[in-house]
Amino acid sequence: MDGAERLTPRLRIRRLTPADAGFIVELLNQPDFLRHIGDRGARDEHQANGWLRSGPLASYARDGSGLHAVELRGTGTAIGICGLLQRDWLPAPDLGFAYLPAWYGQGYAREAAEAMLEDARACGIGRVLAIVSPDNERSTGLLRRLGMREAGTVLAPHSDDPLLLFETPGG
């Protein structure tokens, strides 16, 4: 998704901005985020802005893609993040996502992820990966429902904990 915004039937997916710092503090400090993704050290809006600058905003400038805010179309309520990441230690872009627990189980994560995968195909990206903690059953279930298949394990830099690697069919 190289544009600033993508609409789905229920969602608005847009680039993150410094104005999202309060939401980012809430999201990045959820117990599930800390357990399955890791501590990003964003305890206040100042630290969240640092994470935004060094993460999503830098990714947009460098790669033209990255994590995006996922909002409800009707209210503009931010419920999560989703997007394609270009990690230098993976051979293809990977799908990343995280949501606030209040929005689990309502199909929003799948709707946003499907939109990101459609955009990837439209841009000629034939292979998309995803990495996930082996004990993150919610995320592995979503990846399977998206039609992605397990493709082994991978170690992130500076980590001894293997992550499950998923890929789109034909990858």
pLDDT tens digit string along 7-65? Answer: 999 999 999 999 999 999 999 999 999 999 999 999 999 999 999 999 999 999 999 99
In sequence order, what are the residues at sequence separation of 6 or more whose Cβ sits closer than 8 angstroms to the Cβ of residue 61?
none
Is residue 171 scored above 70 in pLDDT?
A: no
Task: Specify the pLDDT at position 4.
Answer: 73
Instruction: Provide mean pLDDT across the span 92-107.
Output: 97
pLDDT tens track for 137-169 = 999 999 999 999 999 999 999 889 999 999 998
pTM of the model: 0.94
Q: How far apart are the C-alpha atoms of 11 and 78, rounded to whole Å?
A: 10
Print burial letters for 133-148: b (CB count within 10 Å at least 16), e (below 16).
Answer: beebeebbebbeebeb
Answer whether residue 127 shows pLDDT above 80: yes
Residue 2 clears pLDDT 60, i.e. is over it: no
Model pLDDT, residue 133: 95
Higher-confidence residue of 1 and 25: namely 25
